[in-house]
Chains A and B, each alone.
Chain A
Amino acid sequence: MRLSTGGRVDRARPVSFSFDGRPMTGFAGDTLASALLANGVHLVGRSFKYHRPRGVFGAGVEEPNALVGVDRGEGRWEPNQRATTVPLYEGLTARSQNAWPSLRFDVGALNDLAAPLIPAGFYYKTFMHPRRAWEKLYEPLIRRAAGLGTAPTEPDPDRYAQHWAHAELLIVGSGPAGLAAAMAAAPSGRRVILCDLDEELGGSLLSRPDAVIDGRPAWEWLESALATLCAAPNVRLLPRTTAFAYGIDNLVSLAERLTDHRPPAAATGARERLWQVRAGQVVIASGAHERPLVFPGNDRPGVMLASAAETYIRRYGVLPGKRVVVLVAHESGLRAAEAARAVGAEVKVVDLREEPAPEATRGRLRISGVKLRSGWEPCDLLLMAGGWTPALHLFSQSRGTVAWSEERQIFLPGESAQPETSVGGCNGTFGLDDCLAEGWAAGGDTGPRPSAEPGASGPSSPLARPDSADGRAFVDFQNDVTAKDIRLAVREGFRSVEHIKRYTTTGMATDQGRTSNINALAIASDALDRPVPAIGLTTFRAPYTPVTFGTMAAMTRGPLFDPVRTTPIHDWAVAQGAVFEDVGQWKRARYFPRAGEDMHTAVARECLAVRAGAGLFDASTLGKIEVVGPDAAEFLHRMYVNAFLKLGVGKCRYGVLCREDGFVFDDGVIGRIAEDRFHVTTTTGGAAGVLHMMEDYRQTEFPELKVWLTSTTEEWATIALQGPRARDILSPLVEGIDLDPESFPHMALKLGRVAGAPTRLWRVSFTGELGFEINVPSIHGRAVWEAVWEAGQRFGITAYGTETMHVLRAEKGYIIVGQDTDGTVTPFDAGLGWAVGKTKRDFVGKRSLERPAMLRADRKQLVGLDLPDGATVPEEGAQIVDPAEPTRAIGHVTSAYASACLGRPIAMAMVRGGRERIGPVAIAGEGAPVPARVCGTVFIDPEGARLSG
């Protein structure tokens, strides 16, 4: 019921909204919960397991019961929102959850009747046999039955922003302690960020208009304090902002809600912002949560935390019940009684420090009576004041250790692990003046501090320890865990709170046990007859409250999910209609289909064209490292398995790089540009890894060498011109370079110009044909590519992509590291023993390669597979078997392609003792094994005549 006066809501601004289709009206400044209560709605949801009717229980993030779905339009349905934290806006559409066919009549409530059959852990006991039924039957059923709201199915249309911030002081919580800290710090000029998850700053002061600070009513003081802070150029105020994770080095993550308090049509810009704040000092002023009491029937709509009722009355001007019983186990409950009485409610205070807790309650969809020692007492609102639990979540996330106070029966912040201070309620300080003093001290303690009437700091009452095994006394309202369930878990042998939590599910779900954990602990402690600290406290994990996936991803989605890297020739390939593939972050042209061609046809055409005339390939993504210095040759000599000391200037050499374990890590061609300068190429995917590995060895193993590394991957565009007509195409374009094979043989390089651009021209081949790789500075890449393309037209030049490149190299038996090798292949296994410098004293991996296991004759070795005409292309990865013993795998296919040049499929494989096994094998797959013959890896031009053309 809405009171005629009072509260902070704006009575001049009525707001229409609907709940389960029923139109209602509230005021600006309401939450959905306060507006529902103002409209007399107490039944808001159904519980998770037993589908019991539930109502508004709290007034903030601690709310376990009043979970609703909020519909903001297409893609903006959000389930499991706490009605207590949903700000009211014009047109808000909310729906109840977990009830069918309706909230008032829910078939699922049959579970409640069956409650004796489904105690804690019943899933584990019931759904065991037959095992096969788990996947097909039990799990789908349980999954459908479990959960509350339904997940949205459309993509999220909203934007989410992100921001890194730095502050000397981050204050979490804007209640009296947090505000005082900010006010003390503001004059210092230090950067201060003050955040609070509420719609308004002020924390508990928003529910305390009766309090007096510095001789002024609390709300008046609050207004002027906020105005002062707002005007300070060094203070950032962030309402609607939840500090949800406390990481290392005082990095605190905040989620700021930017638009959810506005009607969808008026919500422009990003919906939320992720703040990552690196703070010099963190002041945690996150307050405390009131403890519910555990007694039978404590979950009916109309049973509420006392502090919540006080908030509804004083902050929202809503009286949630006219006939009120207040169960006071802590004196703070008297404030709620006073607030209710002041607005005309009939109030009965039951002091649980003097009499036992109620035995039962009644009322199906709303409480109508409570059974006290004196008998049944009619009521429509039952308030619980069980004392206060400091919100230690962030402190615990900061890896601070919590300490149990036996005297006060609460956990308090113990030793800090980071530069952080807890003040106010989360530090167990409850008196208003004490909170102001503590906050002021944490903020710098300069000048006279704000002060309030000294209030009771609240000697905490002992924990509620209900011993009644009868009745349904709820501990965890959201997960429907009763005191009995916890006692059952203890009887069944669970001792640690971590096990009890997982067995009973107490403290799980979206509220993470905010109201239930401490009561569950007390009951377990009682049942086990061990002190609370001996049972332990479950770990507080981030996030403090649920955070949207949108905020977690922030800008990392869509085109910004991961960088897409493109080469200087990319746009040309796009214009030619290339089909691309992802290679790491790079987009690489895979093939260039002509009208009507599929990949197979296009690749066959490209392959034949390269071998018959000439092909052009963009190899710019290859990694490149410039290794320079007087000791450059010595450095490469130590890194690669090959010998590099005697490589002449102007020569290239294929190099194999192993890891310390002797397995192939990367390969590439290395050219000597000058006595002290090498141009090293790596695989596309290996570029960063090779540079890091080389840097590691350079700095830690070989610091005596005068050599340095510079990544030049993106300095050079690399254009591969391959095929018998390559020289004819190139010759009119070069300046200062003699292409004559005598002076420019295979594996040589020359400096000069191509199409006007400076070049490092290499005569190398990954196709087995006469070939050149034209390296030009990236800014000239596109122009040079087009010049070569133009010059090649009369020779039938064909652009080809990575797929054709793969086929052409396989026809020649050239390996691709990462495809034909898998991190367990030595150079000898890969048939690259010829590359290993036999007389080298050392190189990375040499010792490992000499271990007996690495030299065994039955290691898997790279071989070719000869397949009969008409055979289908085997699957890469297919197992290879001995036809005489077809159940034992002796190897696997690493590469397989249709070879247009040979007119049949070819494959490469790793086979045990493969090089000695030349002869028949079979490739296993679906159906009968396919016969094949182990052969050499070179399928075309084994003498290499075409290379030296």
Chain B
Amino acid sequence: MADLLDQPGIRVRRAPLEPLHVLHCDPDDAEALGAELGVTLPTAPLRAGDGAGPRALHLAPDEWLLVGWRGEAALTRPHALVEVSSRSLTLEIEGEHAVALLSAGCPLDLELMPVGAATRTLLGAVQVTLERQRHCFRMQYWRSFDSYVTGFLQAAASDLPAPVAS
């Protein structure tokens, strides 16, 4: 897919669609349910699992977002598993100015956001789910906000503050 943005230090492109499911359950049941699903559910808050295959983002005490998991599961403990593959769109933002770009609209301290962290936050007026991976930020948002989010990033990219000590 064509890049939404490609300029020195910044590249923004759409990520291919992947199966997405929201899993809610009692945190005490998370380990057992994860085993039944075949996905490791991180227990630390606001962390994403890593490794190949499906992974889970721990977004709230009783909530995980499963990325790339597909299939049926006979689960033995109380839970809610809801498919949301069509709900969102995902962008990948990479480059040395990625933090500066996102900081136009995201109030979190992204410089200190570690690789492997994931959280719900804001980009301007829109709620997004932001995950920091080794090479990029992945940002997910509900699809009806697409024109706002892409317009916001394009506007922000043209007016980034100069890097420090450059």
Q: How many residues of B contact A (CB 8 A)?
A: 47
CA distance A586 to B143 in the complex (A): 12
The 5 closest A-B pairs by CB, nearest first: A708-B24, A628-B80, A161-B159, A708-B80, A565-B144
Specify which of B81, B142, B165 is in contact with A232 (CB 8 Å cutoff): B165
CA distance A551 to B158 in the complex (A): 16
Q: Which residues of chain A (221-251) have a CB below 8 Å from chain B?
A: 230-236
Provide a sorted-by-A list of 9 A–B residue pairs whose CB atoms are within 8 angstroms. A159-B155, A164-B106, A165-B103, A236-B164, A560-B124, A565-B145, A715-B87, A779-B85, A779-B86
In angstroms, how far is the closest chain B Cβ from the Cβ of A406?
Answer: 43
Does chain A have a CB within 8 A of B118?
Answer: no
Task: Add 5 more A-B contacts to A165-B103, A563-B145, A715-B86 (CB < 8 A).
Answer: A161-B161, A566-B144, A629-B79, A711-B87, A712-B82
> Cβ of A715: which chain B residues have Cβ within 8 Å of it?
83-87
A278 lies within 8 A of B159 (CB): no
A269 lies within 8 A of B159 (CB): yes
A714 lies within 8 A of B82 (CB): no
Specify which of B62, B84, B87, B104 is in contact with A161 (CB 8 Å cutoff): B104
CB-defined interface of B95-130 with A at 8 Å, one 1/0 digit per residue? 000001001111111011000000000001110000
Does chain B have a CB within 8 A of A480?
Answer: no
> Cβ of A707: which chain B residues have Cβ within 8 Å of it?
80
Does chain B have a CB within 8 A of A556?
Answer: yes
Does chain A have a CB within 8 A of B136?
Answer: no
Does chain A have a CB within 8 A of B156?
Answer: yes
Q: Using known A-B contacts A233-B165, A586-B144, determine if residue A714 contacts B152 with beta carbons closer than 8 Å.
A: no
CA distance A549 to B57 in the complex (A): 40
What residue of chain B has the Cβ atom nearest to residue A563's Cβ?
A: B148
In angstroms, how far is the closest chain B Cβ from the Cβ of A587?
Answer: 9
Q: Which residues of chain A (666-715) have a CB below 8 Å from chain B?
A: 706-715
Q: Using known A-B contacts A565-B144, A710-B24, A714-B87, determine if residue A163 contacts B155 with beta carbons closer than 8 Å.
A: no
A712 lies within 8 A of B80 (CB): no
Does chain B have a CB within 8 A of A777?
Answer: yes
Which residues of A pack against B, CB within 8 Å? 159, 161-166, 191, 230-236, 269-270, 273, 276, 278, 555-556, 559-560, 562-568, 586, 626, 628-630, 706-716, 777-780
> Cβ of A559: which chain B residues have Cβ within 8 Å of it?
147-148, 151
A566 lies within 8 A of B161 (CB): no
A777 lies within 8 A of B86 (CB): yes
Does chain A have a CB within 8 A of B5?
Answer: no
In angstroms, how far is the closest chain B Cβ from the Cβ of A572?
Answer: 15
What residue of chain A has the Cβ atom nearest to residue B100's Cβ?
A: A163
B103 lies within 8 A of A164 (CB): yes
Q: Using known A-B contacts A233-B165, A708-B24, A708-B62, determine if residue A714 contacts B156 with beta carbons closer than 8 Å.
A: no
B82 lies within 8 A of A235 (CB): no
Specify which of A273, A629, A712 is in contact with B161 (CB 8 Å cutoff): A273
Does chain A have a CB within 8 A of B88?
Answer: yes
A629 lies within 8 A of B80 (CB): yes
> Cβ of B16: which chain A residues have Cβ within 8 Å of it?
none
> Cβ of A630: which chain B residues have Cβ within 8 Å of it?
78
CA distance A234 to B143 in the complex (A): 38
> Cβ of B79: which chain A residues have Cβ within 8 Å of it?
629, 708
CB-defined interface of B32-52 with A at 8 Å, one 1/0 digit per residue? 000000000000000000000
What residue of chain B has the Cβ atom nearest to residue A776's Cβ?
A: B86
Which residues of B pack against A, CB within 8 Å? 17, 22, 24-26, 62-63, 78-88, 100, 103-109, 111-112, 124-126, 142-145, 147-148, 151-152, 155-156, 158-161, 164-165
> Cβ of B158: which chain A residues have Cβ within 8 Å of it?
159, 269-270
> Cβ of B86: which chain A residues have Cβ within 8 Å of it?
714-716, 777-780
Q: Using known A-B contacts A708-B80, A777-B85, determine if residue A231 contacts B165 with beta carbons closer than 8 Å.
A: yes
CA distance A711 to B159 in the complex (A): 35
B126 lies within 8 A of A563 (CB): yes
> Cβ of B103: which chain A residues have Cβ within 8 Å of it?
163-165
CA distance A732 to B17 in the complex (A): 30
What residue of chain A has the Cβ atom nearest to residue B78's Cβ?
A: A706
A276 lies within 8 A of B107 (CB): yes
Specify which of A164, A231, A236, A710 is in contact with B82 (CB 8 Å cutoff): A710
> Cβ of B63: which chain A residues have Cβ within 8 Å of it?
708
A163 lies within 8 A of B24 (CB): no
B104 lies within 8 A of A560 (CB): no
> Cβ of A780: which chain B residues have Cβ within 8 Å of it?
86
> Cβ of B100: which chain A residues have Cβ within 8 Å of it?
163
Specify which of A233, A563, A629 is in contact with B78 (CB 8 Å cutoff): A629
A162 lies within 8 A of B144 (CB): no
B143 lies within 8 A of A714 (CB): yes
Specify which of B26, B155, B159 is in contact with A560 (CB 8 Å cutoff): B155
Most chain B CB within 10 A, of A166, A231, A716, is at A166
In angstroms, how far is the closest chain B Cβ from the Cβ of A624?
Answer: 10
In angstroms, how far is the closest chain B Cβ from the Cβ of A190?
Answer: 12
B148 lies within 8 A of A560 (CB): yes
What residue of chain A has the Cβ atom nearest to residue B162's Cβ?
A: A236
> Cβ of B147: which chain A residues have Cβ within 8 Å of it?
559, 564, 566
What residue of chain B has the Cβ atom nearest to residue A193's Cβ?
A: B164
Q: Using known A-B contacts A565-B144, A710-B22, determine if residue A278 contacts B109 with beta carbons closer than 8 Å.
A: yes
B104 lies within 8 A of A564 (CB): no
In angstroms, how far is the closest chain B Cβ from the Cβ of A635?
Answer: 11
CA distance A556 to B124 in the complex (A): 8
CA distance A779 to B155 in the complex (A): 27
CA distance A270 to B157 in the complex (A): 11
CA distance A278 to B109 in the complex (A): 9
Specify which of B17, B26, B104, B109 is in contact with A166 (CB 8 Å cutoff): B109
What residue of chain A has the Cβ atom nearest to residue B101's Cβ?
A: A163
> Cβ of B82: which chain A residues have Cβ within 8 Å of it?
626, 628, 710, 712
> Cβ of A162: which chain B residues have Cβ within 8 Å of it?
104-105, 156
In angstroms, how far is the closest chain A Cβ from the Cβ of B121?
Answer: 11
B80 lies within 8 A of A166 (CB): no
> Cβ of B88: which chain A residues have Cβ within 8 Å of it?
714
